[in-house]
Structure 1
Amino acid sequence: MTLTLQSAAALLGEHDLLREIITPDRWTDFASTIPDSDVPFAHITYDSKQIEPHTLMCCKGNFKAEYLDGADGRGMAAYVAEHDYSGVTRAPGLIVDDASKALSLLSQAFYDYPERELKLIGVTGTKGKTTTSYFTHAIINAMSGNECALFSSVDNCVDGVHYVESDLTTPESLDAARMMREAVDNGMRYLVMEVSSQAYKVNRVYGLTFDAAAFLNISPDHISPIEHPSFEDYLHCKRQIVRNTHALVLGVPGDYANLVAEDATIANVPVTTFSIDEATADVTAQPIDDTHTTFLFTQGQPIGELSLALEGDFNYANACAALALAQIVGIDIHDPRALQSMADVHIAGRMEETRDPQSDTVAIVDYAHNYASVNALLDFVERKYGARRPRITLLTGSAGDKALDRRREIIEAAQDRVQRIMLTTEDTNTEDPMAIAEEMLGYVTNPDVDASIIIDRAGAVEDVVAEAREHDGFDVLLLIGKGDERWIKMHNRHVPYEGDSSIIRRLFS
């Protein structure tokens, strides 16, 4: 399909988004009355800096009229917006009720609906999205000959083999459609993608229907003035995936799992449950001994035993979800290759454990960044190392401009379970990193916890390693929040950073 002004207007009209078409000379409901309305657009963008000849420009978000200065001279053919910009451009404007929804629909049409040529698998939840996505990707690739693409908060992969660092958990709708087209052109038949609450909040996945989707779990997160004003809003956005999938994989037991199951009943969506706690779930995993290093997976009958490179019981739960998702899209999960494909899955910066040859110290780098993930990480440390009575140091910061509750919740999850807290910079963006660290320090109420601040993150990592080496005993260092990311977001740009994983490898080498 080629996208023209006429076909764009018709598509937006079908979805009750189009209000009218405005030119400097008149307003109309009929795109066909506008000159060149049947000429295909050569380019589509939501960035006014990328306007080139015969571009369809989508004006979304906090868009300002001055962004269109000079757009006519650079070849803008039309614009989509919630407001009339005929005062600054002679190009026709498709005026809509919701520009972000319009962008998603038009992006899919511009790239000729690549999602229709893919088996789409979506994964949502407060924690475990990335790991479950990687496991699902591994299973399908192993069984299909590398014909599965991946969109994740860590990496994107559009050819089944090569990975590129991503910027968002769920790409903007236009970027997602473009990458889906690349994936299809590369011979991909499946796509696994993380679906964040913001993806539904700001319509990045509007118009997409998944062949299978997982709702892993839910706990308060992303509550802030610029994200979700309340937990109810956060949960509501997460639940939208249920009505936009043909089949649901649901983690049980879980907070609000019954509500999500009710959503599925109303939408007539079949549900497959998974669990490491509830034996009656459809797909389960249970440890075969007290070490919790090998689990038996079952689906009515045994699937097989597996030891994961990614430690932690929660990762075996994620593996259950991945098996259920893969089966829904036609993968034989009872084939031994399916289960074993997850054994060596490694995600840079995710439960990355390194031992110091110079001292009795273990460092674990992880993306944990909220109450639930920090608590799960400490549960893992307690189970694996509790008998050795380690001195546990948590190095953490918290994001700026969003998810404000995390600052308190990270401290609440950790302060009665660690001996040392080092507060440092994370993706503070426009906020003062010292102000965030001092706010977090104020939440430390346990007098037995040694808490301090070193804003320079690399210096903070080096400091806790030096402390551990001086300590006469066993130390566990937990470096959380940044994983293997090689940048820190400050003032709306990515500032290069060596990376927690890289610093630990350098210091421990």
Structure 2
Amino acid sequence: MALTLASAAALLREHHLLREIIQGDMWTDDASRIDAADVPFAAITYDTRKVAEGTLLCCKGRFKAEYLDGIDAKGLQAYMAETDYSSVTRAPGLIVNDSRKAMSLLSAEFYGRPQDELTLIGITGTKGKTTTAYFTQAMLGAISGGRAALFSSVDNCLDGRTYVESDLTTPESMDAFRMMREAVDNGMRYLVMEVSSQAYKVDRVYGLDFDAAAFLNISPDHISPIEHPTFEDYLYCKRQLITHTRSLVLGADCAHADLLREDAALAGVPVVTFATDQSAPEVATADFLATADPEAPSRYVFSAHGRTLGACGLTMEGEFNAANAAAAIALIDSVGGTVGEPAFEALAQVRISGRMEHFEAGNIVAYVDYAHNYVSSKTLSEFVLDKYRGRNPRIVVVTGSVGDKAIDRREGIIRGVEPYADRIILTSEDTVKERMIDILHEMQGYVTNPQVSTSIELDRAKAIEDAVADARAHADRLTVLLIIGKGEEQWIKVDGRHAPYEGDGHVIRRLLGIGEPASR
């Protein structure tokens, strides 16, 4: 059914969001008093620049009345807002208590509730969301004839084969429903999406229920005045996924697992667990298990409830990625999928640009990874030390940390790498208002081990060049370079604007004389 002013008002009233409808001097609860209340909207947007004839405009965030200057001439049909703007537009306004929640509901209805035509899988956790999402989508694609879509922090895929760089981990609600509609129209049956803590904090997924969801792990992250003021708030936001899914896949060794199980029990949501055989003994009885093959590095045997499903090698190295694969298998099982040979073949081929990308040339091994907090940087450092322990490696880390937010990461990254690093080169990351040099000096101040040398190089490509030169100056010994934080991103945000950047992987390939991989 097409969305009209009347049906929009009824929907918002049903969810206790509608305050009143205002047009000029008329304030009413009765949409039928508004002219053309039953005329379908031709478009919906939250960007005043995109308003055209018949548009419903959703005013969200720090919206200002001056944004509506000249809007009637563009054909605005109605607006939704928390504020009355009748002084600047003749269009009727749906005045609501919460514009973000209202926008999510209205967007879903405008696009014909595409979520009802998809099997939805949500994934949250502090680390591993992207890898688990790619694993899940790849296997679902293999067993459904390529009819699995993806929303991730790296790429969005709406047709099962074309990947386009994304802007947000979880899209803004209106964008999400628009893309879901496109995915459905493209014949997609499944949608796998990362669900960030911010998605619940700012209601990007309000009104959305998942067929299955994974809660991978939790540790402090995104703590800042503009994100989550405390770890409790961060965890609370992530926990909302549990009450909006029909089944839950839970990391068996996840912190606060007892609380998460209580959430699931109160909501009547069944829980299955996943782990690797190298996890703590108390989680060895996990429902879905990845068991390392002692004869073949990076090969794992996967089982469910004690029954072997199959085995494959993973291009994505590390025990943590084996755990992500086990989570993906559990998710597919939770929505009724069969994980057989085609799925394992697809799983074995998954490669994500900027995630555990591995390069070797002479005495240099380099990993480009998105590790950007304490847990992920520590896990990566431990992995490379364990893998190359027999070769007595030097470890050189190239890293930075974002400005203006996630301020806990600055010390966290240093604490994560310092016990393993011989040298740390601090370099630029994204920032809006904070000066990057101040952030890097702060990070340098967290280094307490006198055996670890540090330096600052604002030019990120030059910092990687310095790391490679350092390795070549120690040609008698293996040097492992950890280039972390940016992944595949080919831009750096400077003063809030994207500035072109070659990309960590491209820089290291150029410096080591390694060709670019074939396009996906």
Short-chain TM bin = over 0.9
Q: Is the 8 A contact 1:45 1:51 kept in 2?
A: yes
Cα distance between partner residues in 2 of 1:405 and 1:317: 26
**2:143 match:** 143
State yes or no: 1:487 paired with 2:506: no
What SS does structure 2 have at the residue aligned with 1:341?
helix
Question: Would you say the 8 A contact 2:169–2:195 is kept in 1?
Answer: yes
Contact 1:306 1:340 in 2 (8 A): yes
Q: 1:86-105 alignment to 2 at 5 Å?
A: 86-105=86-105
2:457 counterpart of 1:454: yes
Paired residues for 1:121-200 under 5 Å:
121-200=121-200
Contact residue 149 and residue 183 of structure 1 kept, 8 A:
yes
AA of the residue aligned to 2:192: V
SS in 2 for 1:86: coil
Distance across 2 between alignment mates of 1:86 and 1:245: 40
Structure 2 unaligned blocks of 5 or more: 514-520
405-414 vs 486-495, greater mean Cα deviation: 486-495
Matches within 5 A, 1:49-448: 49-276=49-276, 277=279, 278-289=283-294, 292-299=297-304, 300-333=306-339, 335-356=340-361, 359-448=362-451
Q: Verify the 8 A CA contact 2:171 2:204 in the aligned structure 1.
A: yes
Paired AA for residue 506 in structure 1: R
What's the CA shift string for 1:312-370, capped at 9, x where partnerless? 0000000000001011112112x2222232101000011001112xx400110000000
SS in 2 for 1:235: helix
Deviation at 1:288, TM superposition (A): 2.3
8 Å CA contact retained: 2:124, 2:216:
yes
**Aligned partner of 1:326: which letter?**
I
Task: For 2:293, give the aligned amino acid.
Answer: I
| Equivalent pair of 2:126/2:216 in contact (CA under 8 Å) | yes
Counterpart code for 1:90? R
Runs of 4+, deviation exceeding 6 Å: none
Q: Distance in 2 between matches of 1:24 and 1:235?
A: 44
On the 8 A contact 2:431/2:496 being kept in 1, the answer is no
The aligned amino acid for 2:322 is Y
- 1:123–1:195: 8 Å Cα contact kept in structure 2? yes
196-205 or 17-26, which deviates more: 17-26
Between the aligned partners of 1:387 and 1:170, the Cα distance in structure 2 is: 41
1: CA distance between counterparts of 2:459 and 2:97?
45
State the distance in 2 between where 1:445 and 1:86 align.
60
Structure 1 residues 322-331 or 290-299, which shifts more?
A: 290-299
The gaps in structure 1 that reach 5 residues or longer are none
Secondary structure of residue in 2 paired with 1:249: strand
Pairwise CA distance, 1:302: 1.0
Q: Is the 8 A contact 1:392 1:478 kept in 2?
A: yes
**How far apart in 2 are the matches of 1:178 and 1:293?**
39
TM-score (norm 1): 0.98
C-alpha displacement of 1:291: 6.5
2:385/2:420 contact within 8 Å kept: no
CA contact (8 A) 1:292 1:313 kept: no
1:196 CA drift (Å): 0.2
Describe the SS at the equivalent of 2:348. coil
2:425 and 2:454 in contact (8 A); partners too: yes
> Per-residue displacement from partner, 1:191-236 (whole Å, max 9, x unpaired)?
0000000000000000000000000000000000110010000000
Q: Partner of 2:347: helix, strand, or coil?
A: coil
Q: Does the Cα contact within 8 Å between 2:126 and 2:217 map onto a contact in 1?
A: yes
Report SS of the residue matched to 1:281: coil
Cα offset for 1:419? Answer: 0.6
User: Cα distance, 1:498 vs. partner?
Assistant: 0.4
Q: 1:154: how far off?
A: 0.3
Q: Is the 8 A contact 2:382 2:420 kept in 1?
A: no
Partner of 1:475: 479
User: What is the Cα deviation at residue 292 of structure 1?
Assistant: 4.5
Contact 1:429 1:492 in 2 (8 A): yes
Per the alignment, residue 6 of structure 1 pairs with: 6
1:138-189 deviations in Å (ceiling 9; x for gaps):
1100001000000000000000011000010000000000100000000000
SS of 1:430 mapped into structure 2 = coil
Instruction: State the partner residue of 2:518.
Output: none
Q: Determine the C-alpha separation between the residues in 2 that align with 1:416 and 1:271.
A: 37
User: For the residues of structure 2 that align with 1:50 and 1:461, how far apart are their CA atoms?
Assistant: 41
Q: Figure out how many residues of one structure are paired with residues of the other and give that number.
A: 506
User: How far 1:496 moved relative to its partner?
Assistant: 1.0
Whole-angstrom CA distance in 1 between matches of 2:12 and 2:494:
37
**1:484 partner SS:** coil
Q: Within the alignment, does 1:501 sit opposite 2:492 as a pair?
A: no
Tell me the SS of whatever aligns to 1:412: helix
Q: 1:497 to 1:84 in 2, by over 3 A?
A: same
Counterpart-to-counterpart distance in 2, 1:20 and 1:446: 62
SS in structure 2 of the partner of residue 342 of structure 1:
helix
Secondary structure of 1:156's partner?
A: strand
CA distance in structure 1 between the partners assigned to 2:36 and 2:495 by the alignment:
42
Write the distance in 2 (CA, Å) between the matches of 1:482 and 1:125.
19
Which residue number corresponds to residue 32 of structure 1? Answer: 32
Provide the TM-score with structure 2 as the length reference: 0.96
How far apart in 2 are the matches of 1:429 and 1:385?
A: 38
